């Protein structure tokens, strides 16, 4: 028994013997002959040693098998104890008794809007001419056609029925329409005095291309925004001549020439000469129709339809502006403009101004989407023009070239890239802002420039529904939270106040 070796010793001894015999076999082999395959240790053993190889293999397999089983058992034990520890931790933290039951969630109020992880859906345009089916009312399918991609613009025929168009026009007439004249913003003169700008600073603000001279279009843009009066290049040359402003007669104002003009020189000249209705930026009449609870059922249905069309949360649509109804008589028009202005750090959105942490010197209408409804078919003119739709580039300085003013919808509507003919019941809608790439409102879409062509024959009735969303995500969230905490009477009062305040906005009417 003392001479008997364990299996591991036998295996080591056999491998040693094999290593010692191998060189001799290689030396005995003749040069150039095929080398004979080496024999395994089991082949060299005879008699009772032939079972050593099987015993060694069995030992190795059993070792690996036991290690595998042990690892599996350890893993199962670890998972089991981890779950028990987690359960015991939750039970220690949970209150005792009936308090362990989760409290039921409070249903949201009418205007409550949870802003966490909100992503604003956008309808895909695919390509110009693409038609997609949409269900806006039960039992009816509408066709929505893509008219342009810059801006993202769609047309939906038959959005309103003939009866609905008639009811909306009658409600507007019953309430009464007012002149849609754009005037100087309240407080603008005080703001100018407060900023205390020098002539050089005002000149640099107007000099868009910073070439040291004021072109006609640079002065025209400023005058239209400030005064609501539409001046043509010819009108401006007349003013220059009347004020003796352009000394060399080249149609350009240098800084030295600009210094000679007083800040109200243009206004005084226009007042002396008088302003015709056709010279206004907009020539129309309008009113606002409330669409909330208690409003006419047609108005409520229209709001619900817009919610389905835009796929936005209902609270955003509820808290947006009321429905605006506009009438253009023969000769009526609205020169090209943007429904929304760009939002800078020093600019606040009109609808969320109450939620702004600090006072801001400027306000603008933040209209994410415009939905325009044609309430009648127009006998002549009255198209909605998009001068730079799907243009390769956009440059403000190129809108007025060689006395051709693309913004002028009285004379140059035929030069617009896209014109939508007014047909009763048809709706068009477009996005005034791009996406920020994270599901929220991004920069202003400059290609959304649009206007109402002059009505050459008959009357034009349209209605507008704007969806207001603040590009500042946190400010919109604070506004929604403030409104959700107000009692219902205060909410209705705030909506009324918003309606009144919108009527004075320079960007507000379409």
Report how far residue 460's alpha carbon sits from residue 454's, in angstroms, rounded to the nearest whole number: 10
- 131-179+282-502 is classed CATH 2.130.10.10: no
To the question of pTM greater than 0.75 for the whole model, the response is no
pLDDT digits (tens, 9 = 90+) for 261-275: 766 676 667 666 666
Q: What 8-state DSSP symbol labels residue 160?
A: S
Q: What is the mean pLDDT of the chain?
A: 77
pLDDT on residue 379: 97
pLDDT on residue 185: 42
Report how far residue 299's alpha carbon sits from residue 318's, in angstroms, rounded to the nearest whole number: 12
Residue among 252, 233, 288 nearest 464 (CA): 288
Lowest mean pLDDT, pick from 58-62, 172-176, 192-196: 192-196
pLDDT digits (tens, 9 = 90+) for 463-504: 999 999 999 999 999 999 888 876 655 444 444 434 444 433
| Residue ranges, CATH 1.10.238.10, the chain | 188-273
Report how far residue 352's alpha carbon sits from residue 371's, in angstroms, rounded to the nearest whole number: 21
**CB-based contact 389:150 (threshold 8 Å):** yes
Q: Check the CA dihedral 41-45-51-55 and report its sign.
A: negative
**CB-based contact 172:299 (threshold 8 Å):** no
pLDDT digits (tens, 9 = 90+) for 420-470: 999 999 999 999 999 999 999 999 999 999 999 999 999 999 999 999 999
| CATH no. for 188-273 | 1.10.238.10
Pairing between β-strand 347-349 and β-strand 362-364 as defined by DSSP bridges: parallel
Residue among 167, 160, 125 nearest 142 (CA): 160
Residues 8-22: b if buried by 16+ CB within 10 A, e if exposed: eebbeebeeeeeeee
pLDDT digits (tens, 9 = 90+) for 392-433: 999 887 888 877 889 999 999 999 999 999 999 999 999 999
More confident residue, 46 or 286: 286
- What's the number of CA atoms in the CB half-sphere (13 Å) around residue 365? 24
Pairing between β-strand 285-289 and β-strand 178-179 as defined by DSSP bridges: antiparallel
pLDDT digits (tens, 9 = 90+) for 88-132: 544 444 444 444 444 444 444 444 444 555 789 999 999 999 999
| Residue ranges, CATH 2.60.120.620, the chain | 131-179+282-502
């Amino acid at each position: 028994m003392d001479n008997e070796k364990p299996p591991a010793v036998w295996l080591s001894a056999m491998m040693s013997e094999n290593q010692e015999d191998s060189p001799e076999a290689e030396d005995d082999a003749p040069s150039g002959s095929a080398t004979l395959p080496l024999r395994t240790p089991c082949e060299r053993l005879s008699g009772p040693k032939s079972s050593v190889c099987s015993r060694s293999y069995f030992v190795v397999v059993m070792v690996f098998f036991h290690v595998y089983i042990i690892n599996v058992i350890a893993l199962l034990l670890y998972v089991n104890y981890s779950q028990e520890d987690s359960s015991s931790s939750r039970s220690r933290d949970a209150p005792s008794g009936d308090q362990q039951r989760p409290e039921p969630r409070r249903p949201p109020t009418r205007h409550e809007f949870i802003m966490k992880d909100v992503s604003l859906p956008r309808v895909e345009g695919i390509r110009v001419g693409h038609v997609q089916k949409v269900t806006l009312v039960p039992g009816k399918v509408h066709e929505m056609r893509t008219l342009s991609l810059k801006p993202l613009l769609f047309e939906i025929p038959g959005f309103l029925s003939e009866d609905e168009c008639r009811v909306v026009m009658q409600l507007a007439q019953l309430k009464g329409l007012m002149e849609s004249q754009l005037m100087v913003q309240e407080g603008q003169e005080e703001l100018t005095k407060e900023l205390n700008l020098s002539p050089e600073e005002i000149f640099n603000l107007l000099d868009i291309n910073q070439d040291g001279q004021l072109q006609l279009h640079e002065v025209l843009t400023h005058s239209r925004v400030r005064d609501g009066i539409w001046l043509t290049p010819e009108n401006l040359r007349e003013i220059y001549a009347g004020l003796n402003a352009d000394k060399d007669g080249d149609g350009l104002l240098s800084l030295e020439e600009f210094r000679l003009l007083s800040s109200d020189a243009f206004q005084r000249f226009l007042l002396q000469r008088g302003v015709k209705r056709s010279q206004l930026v907009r020539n129309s009449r309008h009113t606002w129709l409330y669409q909330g609870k208690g409003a006419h059922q047609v108005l409520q249905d229209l709001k619900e339809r817009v919610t389905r069309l835009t796929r936005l949360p209902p609270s955003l649509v509820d808290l947006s502006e009321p429905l605006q109804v506009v009438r253009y008589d023969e000769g009526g028009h609205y020169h090209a403009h943007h429904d929304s202005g760009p939002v800078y750090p020093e600019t606040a959105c009109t609808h969320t101004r109450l939620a702004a942490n600090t006072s801001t010197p400027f306000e603008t209408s933040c209209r994410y989407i415009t939905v325009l409804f044609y309430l009648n078919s127009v006998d002549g003119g009255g198209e909605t023009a998009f001068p730079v739709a799907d243009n390769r580039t956009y440059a403000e300085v190129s809108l007025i070239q060689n006395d051709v003013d693309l913004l002028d919808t009285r004379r140059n509507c035929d030069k617009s890239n896209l014109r939508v003919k007014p047909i009763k019941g048809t709706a068009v809608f477009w996005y005034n802002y791009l996406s920020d790439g994270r599901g929220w409102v991004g920069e202003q879409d400059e290609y959304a420039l649009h206007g109402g062509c002059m009505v050459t024959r008959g009357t034009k009735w349209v209605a507008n529904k704007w969806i207001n969303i603040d590009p500042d995500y946190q400010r919109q969230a604070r506004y929604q939270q403030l409104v959700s905490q107000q009692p219902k009477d205060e909410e209705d009062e705030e909506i009324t106040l918003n309606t009144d305040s919108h009527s004075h906005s320079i960007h507000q009417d379409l």
